[in-house]
Amino acid sequence: MFEDILITIATAATPLLIAAVGEVVVERSGVLNLGVEGMMVMGAVTGFGVALTTGSPWLGVVAAIIVGMLFSLLFGFLTLTLVTNQVATGLALTLLGLGLSGMLGEGFVGLPGIKMSYLHIPYLTDVPYIGRLFFGQDPLFYVSILLTAGVAWFLFRSRAGLTLRSIGDNHTSAHALGIKVIGIRYLAVMFGGACAGLAGAYLSLIYTPQWIENMTAGRGWIALALVVFASWRPWRVLAGAYLFGAVSIGQLHAQALGVGVPSQLLSSLPYLATVVVLVLISRNRRLTMVNTPASLGRPFVPDR
């Protein structure tokens, strides 16, 4: 039973983690894309639809990633090339995604989907108590952990990551040094879109294998909040996502046990706990300032 609970927590945390890690890269490059929810829901409908028509959940995942990327490309074109307001454009992207996915997905409502099969390694998965937790989860769970590690390495251990962060901190200086600010930001935005699409596919192919309109139910916004509270650091995002997942699942168990605490309070616990803990770990103001991309959300028009 304990293992089941841990797996449930991982399932709740994974989509948040994937979307938030993608957004970390976007925001580290100095771009604020509030359209995560929209890209995510587009990924969900695409993943479901492609998996259903082709019979392959993996094709669904790939399609969701591509659609997430295309959707973010639209955002990139508007904010980076046409220099529109990033906040407004991000919100518009969310609205567009929610509406468009509802329209595209109309025919999928009420159809049971295909669930991506869980990993199964003979012997290892059958180890009691921990086998399924470490070796028997859905494939995207492992992808999400690798993704976090990869992004952490990229941002803080690689030269390309340093370049990306320098753009996020001061795009004018980076430009003066001859770095292609807009080009790199495009790549970052597309990476964020791909992650959001993948997170959406996780919802419609693993979490709840079906298409229901609006099924992201605000998870894109939670991912966005996690990024800020985790002060733009990938491993902290992971900690935040799992904490959020753990408290969400924990409060449901507390209710089922009948602990007698008002359910409204219990329901708000995940939000409270995540905020409190992440505020505590980032209470060093100077470190937080160092981590905040200084050019975040500021438009950049290169002077020729």
Q: Using CB under 8 A, list all residues that contact other proteins.
A: 1, 4-5, 8, 11-12, 15, 37, 91, 94-95, 98-99, 102, 105-106, 109-112, 115, 203, 207-215, 217-219, 221-222, 225, 248-249, 252-253, 255-258, 260, 262-264, 266-267, 271
The two structure tokens encoding residue 58: 């993996």
Question: Least separation, in Å, of the C-beta of 91 and other proteins?
Answer: 7
Decide: 102 and 38 in contact? Cβ < 8 Å.
no
Q: Which residues of 25-46 are buried (b: 16+ CB within 10 A; e: fewer)?
A: bbbbbbbbbbbbbbbbbbbbbb
Question: Least separation, in Å, of the C-beta of 222 and other proteins?
Answer: 8
- 131 or 161: CB nearest other proteins: 131
Decide: 198 and 41 in contact? Cβ < 8 Å.
no
Q: Report how far residue 82's alpha carbon sits from residue 249's, in angstroms, rounded to the nearest whole number.
A: 43
Question: Least separation, in Å, of the C-beta of 132 and other proteins?
Answer: 13
Decide: 44 and 215 in contact? Cβ < 8 Å.
yes
- 59 or 269: CB nearest other proteins: 269
Work out whether the CA dihedral 64, 37, 300, 294 comes out positive or negative: negative
- 161 or 250: CB nearest other proteins: 250
Alpha-carbon distance values, 43 to 86, 225, 256 (Å): 21, 20, 33
Question: Least separation, in Å, of the C-beta of 221 and other proteins?
Answer: 5
Question: Least separation, in Å, of the C-beta of 37 and other proteins?
Answer: 8
- 49 or 168: CB nearest other proteins: 49
Question: Least separation, in Å, of the C-beta of 165 and other proteins?
Answer: 27
Where do runs of H (alpha helix) occur along 177-262? 181-202, 219-229, 234-257
- 90 or 193: CB nearest other proteins: 90
Q: Report how far residue 131's alpha carbon sits from residue 134's, in angstroms, rounded to the nearest whole number.
A: 6
Question: Least separation, in Å, of the C-beta of 256 and other proteins?
Answer: 5
- 106 or 126: CB nearest other proteins: 106
The two structure tokens encoding residue 33: 């894309």
By the 10 Å C-beta count (0-12 exposed, 13-18 middle, 19+ buried), 4 is classed as exposed
- 75 or 154: CB nearest other proteins: 75
Element (H, E) at 173: helix 171-176
Residues in the chain: 304
DSSP state of 158: S
- 142 or 271: CB nearest other proteins: 271
Question: Least separation, in Å, of the C-beta of 21 and other proteins?
Answer: 19
